[in-house]
Structure formats: structure tokens, C-alpha cells
Structure 1
Amino acid sequence: MPDRISRSILLTALLPALLLAPGASAAPVSVPTDRGTLSLPAPARRVVALEYSFVDTLLALGVRPVGAALGTQGGDRGAPPYLRPKVGGITPTGSRGQPSLEAMAAARPDLILADALVHKDSAAGFARLAPTAVFPSRRADLDELNNQTLQIGRLVGREAAARQLLADQKTLIAKARAFAKKNAPTFVAGVVTPTSFTVHTQGSFAGSFLEAVGRRNAVPVRDGQTQFETSLEGLVALNPQTLVLFTAPDEKPVTDTWAKNPLWQKLSAVKRGRVYTFNRDDWTRGRGPTALKLMTAQAIESRFLQDAAPARGYQYQP
């Protein structure tokens, strides 16, 4: 009987480690976050992710969140198209802008991943439910998001997998750069909705990614803002040689109205026939390792890197 009890106690002690994902460590972990160092006694097993970049990263690491901000409350558009087939069965915990504390608590997380911008006023409340790692996802550039991949990998005991993801990405980007035309003109990129045009500068995720794969972003960070709205007149002042539009297939972008204005025809990118469109949901809302693979493939397929006329499916047709 004592041997049985001893074995039972030993099994109970080992169970958390046995349930970790393959390749995961069980040691205490500490990582830097936007609100200081976060320390966990052991890697997290039950994670709630409040941004799509966190969902993407966790899934790429082989960790399935117990909850995620997949809802459409507050006008959110739900998971990006490339992520939708992967998130079935994950419990929605509200939307990114309107997370539900009740749904998050019901998921019994031992880690919450929150965004520094969207959740700046609510992260303290999340921390009452579970340890909360705050990262600047919405306003981060490619390097910052890659660093988050590493830190999230550490938090869930998958650092080796995270380092492999980053190594694979580095190789992929190097291959993409081989397609980039040498000394191609600079580009301007922006998210276009029915009412606005938001420029994505060198410090934005999409803007810095397109630089990483070999093209030069014409717009630096402005007054500390990695993204800012502009008008048609403002776009004319920038006069891009190449224009990248991130639009949604179910919306009529404001540029459709601008295209009827003679000022639009003065844009060098329009005259050159170098206006490209990409799905803004996939390109600007996912921001994770899986999104980057899709974006790299489309940057090549669209012929943006080659500075050639847009391939079919990527041409802007107002």
C-alpha cells in the first residue's frame, strides 16, 4: 500500500510536466513585457490570447489557446481569413476591443496575452484573473513582433520551437529578397476603409515587412505615430512611385471615390500602373508567423517585389 501511495504522489507531481507540449520545458520562466518582467513558476498551459497575432503565434508554436478574442463585438471583423480554419473549437472571449472578463475567467487561464494599446486600461483587471503579459502588438514593427514570438515561446515552454520559427522566417525572407528589383522606387502603403486611408510607415508591421523583403518604404514614423491617416491631397503630396492598398473584399474603399478625382491620376504610381491590393484582414490584423508566410508568398506572386505590373488578383480596379 505505501508503494502505491508513493507512486500516486509521484504521478501527481509529474502530471503538469507530462501534459506540456512536446519539446516544452517545465522550469520557471521570466520574460520582459511592456509592463516589466513577468515571471511564471512553470510554463503556461492554459493561455487566453486577446490579439490575433498572439493566436497566430501560439498555434504556430503548437499551443492551442483555451480562449481568444475572436468575437465581433464593437465592430471587430473577427479572425482574419487565413486564421479562420485554424480557430474552430477555441472558446471566444469577446472581441479584441471588448474582451469578456466572465468568458476569460471561465477558461481558467494561467496566462493572458494582452495588447499594450488596446488593453492599456484593462490589463490590470486581467491580471486579477491570471498573470498577464502585455506586448505592443497593434503598433509593433516586424522586429518587435518577432521578439514577441520568442518571449511567448518562453512563456509556454516552447522557446526552441520559437527560435526555429524565426530561423525559418529569416530564410524565407532572404529567398524573397532575391525577387526584389534592385533600386526599385519607394512605395507608400496604407489600409483603406470606406472612410479613411491610414498610411503604414517604416515603423508599422506591414510597412516594415515590405522593407524586410526588399522594397523601400517612403514614409518614416511621423510624430511618434507608426500609422496615420491622410487625405487624397496628402497622398498626392507623398506622390508614391508604387502604391500598396490593404483593402477588404466586402467593403468599398474610399480610394474608389478618390479615383474619380483628377488628382488621383497625377499620382506617379497610377501613371506607372503600380497600384497593388492585398487583403487587409490577412496583412494587417494577423501579424504572426503564419501570416508572414502568406504575406511573403503574395509579395512575390503579386509582382510587387519585382516592380512589375500587378499580377491578376492584385490589381487595383476602382
Structure 2
Amino acid sequence: MNRCTALILTTLLSPLAVPAHAAPVTVPHDRGTLTLPAPARRVVALEYSFVDTLLALGVRPVGAALGTQGGDRGAPPYLRGRVVGVVTTGSRAQPSLEGVAALRPDLILADTLVHRDVAPALGRLAPTAVFPSRRADLEQLNEQTLLIGRLVGREAAARQLLADQKSLITKARAFARKGAPAFVAGVVTPTSFTAHTAGSFAGSFLEAVGRRNQLPVRDGQTQYELSLEGLVALQPQTLVLFTAPDETPVTASWAKNPLWQKLPAVKRGRVYTFNRDDWTRGRGPTALKLMLAQTIESRFLQDAAPGSAFKYGP
């Protein structure tokens, strides 16, 4: 086989290659319906869940919101090795329109909440699909995996990802102790505790694997802040904290308050901590595999005292 023939075959067999006879693709999204003349080959992803999903589908984005402007933390560590060389188009909160335009994308993936003000401008640069990534639950994000798969010509791969995920969740549920008390979960930063209800990604995921979320969506908000007093009022039997290893969470100061010591979860020794880079920032198929493993390893599903790697120690 000569070099020219090998190059042609490589191109044809590439998951990003789109045959000349490719049919148009139509998907619904939060700003209407998007139709592409053929599956997208040059994709810019403005949320980490989109980056995670594309990579899981075997598609490398040409650009992504991986910057740290506006106080963002950049790509979650579990993704960093896989996005080396992907052009940074600003941060999620502050995408660079000039940077996006320079990449000549044929598809932009944007977030309903974060990019609501710039979505019209993005749409003038290239076809743009807008999905509720930041405030979506597990079911909505799975729907997005399928739609993104369709947009990039990888729908069969997306369906396989979801089938594999369903199988893993079923296996994880076997570890869940029946009758275990409900949990309260929240992202904890140096200044705030943001509760993740049953309508959030992490909150709905933990329900999917067999534990009950104590908090329903409140006034349409899937996530909302709680004070220490607000947390005490809930009297949680189990507490799940999503923290960052390079930050000191606000709960470190709360732990010095007698009110914290009176929390049933603290008394029971059922305060679990997970890395929020894995749990609340990626929100894609790859992150979900990490999360599934950690729910078992931490002994959260079993409602047993957390192992040392997941035990909260302020």
C-alpha cells in the first residue's frame, strides 16, 4: 500500500471523517431546532460536560473553554491530559468570540444558563446548539450525549455509551443498602455551601445509584446556597460534600461551631467528601465512571463509615 492510499484510508476510517453523501442532521435544543447539512467535524465546546462527551465519543474538539478567566478553574484534572493541544477559547464564563471565530467551527456547543447573553453572537459565528449543562440532571445530560452524538455523526457510539452506563448503574445499585437514610449533598467552596437537589446532576446521580436525596428542587432552583443554620434545620443523617483539594472549604470553620457537632450525620460518622473536579464540573460519561467507582469505594452506597480517602476531616 502506497503512502497516498494509506492517507486516504486513514481519513475515511477516522471517526471525524464525514462521507460526501452524509445526510443532514437535525436536533432540538434550548433555542429551537438546529439543522446541519452534515455531521460536524470542527466543534468548539464551551462547557466541560461537552468536552467530556465529545472525547468519550472519540471526537476531539478544535477548541474549548479551558481558560481561567472570571475565576474559573480550567479543565478538570481528569480531562487535562486529553485536551493537550486543544485551542483555548477563553473560559466558560468569558468565551472569546474572536477565538471561536478563528477556529472556523461548523458547530458550537453552549450552555443555556452561562451563555444566554452571548448565544445570539455565537449563532452568528457558526451553528450553535444550546443545552442546559450547568443546571441539568442526569437524565437531561444523557439526552445531550445522544443529541451531541447525532450532531457529530456518532449516534451509535452515544447509544453504546448510555447502554454501558445503564449497566454500570444497575451493578452499583446492588451495593446500596435498602432503607438507608436520605442524604444532603452540596458543593463547598471557601465561602459557600451550595446544596445539590434531586434536580441537579450529582444529586440525581446519587439517587440513580440507590440513595435518596433529601432535597427536592426549590422554587425552580436545582442548586441553592445553605447557611450552617439552614443545614442544621435539615438535620441530615448523611452528608455529602464536594470539595476541591486546593481549597479550604467553609465547613472547616463551621466544624468549630457546636451546631456542626450536633448534626446527625456528624454524630453517625456519615460525612463523605468527594473531589468536585470529578463530581460537579465534568458531568460527562467519563466523569460518571469515576463517580460510580467512588460511590462504592467510599462506602456511601453501603451507608457505612467512609474510608480514609473519603472521610471528611476539617
Q: What's the TM-score once normalised by structure 1's chain length?
A: 0.93
- Tell me which residue corresponds to 2:15: 21
- Tell me which residue corresponds to 1:300: 296
- Tell me which residue corresponds to 1:223: 219
Output the CA distance in 2 between the equivalents of 1:54 and 1:110: 15
Output the CA distance in 2 between the equivalents of 1:276 and 1:81: 21
Alignment of 1:48-197 (within 5 A): 48-197=44-193
* Aligned-residue RMSD, C-alpha: 1.5
Q: Tell me, which stretches of 5 or more residues in structure 1 are unaligned?
A: 1-13
Alignment of 1:273-288 (within 5 A): 273-288=269-284
SS at match of 1:223: coil
Shift in Å at residue 22 of structure 1?
6.8
Output the CA distance in 2 between the equivalents of 1:41 and 1:108: 16
Give 2:27's match in structure 1, choosing from 7, 16, 31: 31
Is the 2:190–2:250 contact (alpha carbons within 8 Å) kept by the matching residues of 1? yes
Shift in Å at residue 102 of structure 1?
1.2
Supply the AA of the counterpart residue of 1:180.
Answer: A
Is the 1:69–1:96 contact (alpha carbons within 8 Å) kept by the matching residues of 2? yes
Output the CA distance in 2 between the equivalents of 1:247 and 1:59: 25
Is the 1:173–1:212 contact (alpha carbons within 8 Å) kept by the matching residues of 2? yes
Supply the AA of the counterpart residue of 2:209.
Answer: V
Supply the AA of the counterpart residue of 1:174.
Answer: T
Give 1:245's match in structure 2, choosing from 230, 241, 247: 241
Is the 1:23–1:158 contact (alpha carbons within 8 Å) kept by the matching residues of 2? no
Shift in Å at residue 52 of structure 1?
0.1
Output the CA distance in 2 between the equivalents of 1:306 and 1:82: 26
Output the CA distance in 2 between the equivalents of 1:170 and 1:211: 13
Is the 1:82–1:282 contact (alpha carbons within 8 Å) kept by the matching residues of 2? yes
SS at match of 1:222: coil
Output the CA distance in 1 between the equivalents of 2:52 and 2:16: 19
Identical-residue share of aligned pairs (%): 82
User: Aligned in 2, Cα 1:272/1:24: closer, same or farther, shift over 3 Å?
Assistant: farther
Q: Per-residue CA shift, 1:99-158, capped at 9, x if unaligned?
A: 011111111100000000000010100011100000000000000000000000000000
Shift in Å at residue 81 of structure 1?
1.3
Aligned length: 304
Q: Tell me, which stretches of 5 or more residues in structure 2 are unaligned?
A: 1-7
Shift in Å at residue 24 of structure 1?
6.6
Output the CA distance in 2 between the equivalents of 1:248 and 1:138: 18
User: Aligned in 2, Cα 1:297/1:172: closer, same or farther, shift over 3 Å?
Assistant: same
Shift in Å at residue 231 of structure 1?
0.3
Output the CA distance in 2 between the equivalents of 1:290 and 1:20: 21
Supply the AA of the counterpart residue of 2:45.
Answer: A
Q: Per-residue CA shift, 1:166-197, capped at 9, x if unaligned?
A: 00000000000001011101000000001000
